[in-house]
Amino acid sequence: MADDTIPQVDVPLPEISHVAFVVEDLEESMRRFGALLGMEPWFTYRYEPPRLTDTTYRGEPAEYSMRVAITDVEGPVDLTTKVVSGQTLQRVVSWLTALRDRLGLRSGSDDDGALSSLPNPGLPGLNVELIEPLDGPSTYTEHLDAGGTGIHHIGCFAFDDPRAAVERYEDAGIQIVQSGRFGELEFWYLDMREELDGVLLEVAANLWTVPSPDGVFPG
């Protein structure tokens, strides 16, 4: 029997791209994850203006900043073994075809488009993200205030049309509780904490435009 209190959303996740933790001390957390789980190297970023723009929190414009570290769990993607399963090959081919069309390489194509409108190819592979909030109100500071460090969200970056997926979640009554743009990367946090035991869902677009990391740990 369906639970009427849970929004019914027909937006299946193509894959889980990452799991993110809110932490109080980024360096200490990177050391612990490395020592206990062998997770390294970490690529570090500072999300703040002027690279961090169009930020919102609970439906209103808001300024916040954070430090982020990311590491791959599976390591570099091996396409020779990965693309034969699921819809990965289809997504890669679709993305390359769209790229060809955007660049006008197809005879008779008039649409030079913008690379930022290309669908995410959604290559497989899971990464772990650590987030240390710095300034301003955010779901990160909410998380720390509510109970300390721990899993903050799961992320999916493999939607063919991320913005359309976000709109469908909104139509089902799931609110965007935080969003922003880092360079050309766009991200939205969808508030499923009540239904998913405190976990948000992140959807992102233009993942391939992420700027180069500020540093690598251990250096």
- 49-80 tens-digit pLDDT: 999 999 999 999 999 999 999 998 864 444 44
Q: Using the predicted structure, report yes or no on whether residue 114 has a pLDDT greater than 90.
A: no
**Average pLDDT of the residues of the chain:** 81
Options 3.40.50.300, 3.40.47.10, 3.40.50.620, 3.10.180.10; CATH of 18-74+125-217: 3.10.180.10
Predicted pLDDT of residue 72: 86
- The residues, ordered by sequence, that sit 6+ positions from 147 with a Cβ below 8 Å of its Cβ are 198
Q: pTM for this structure?
A: 0.76
Angstrom distance (rounded) from CA 156 to CA 204: 7
Summarised one tens digit per residue, pLDDT across range 167-177 is 999 999 999 99
More confident call, 219 vs 34: 34
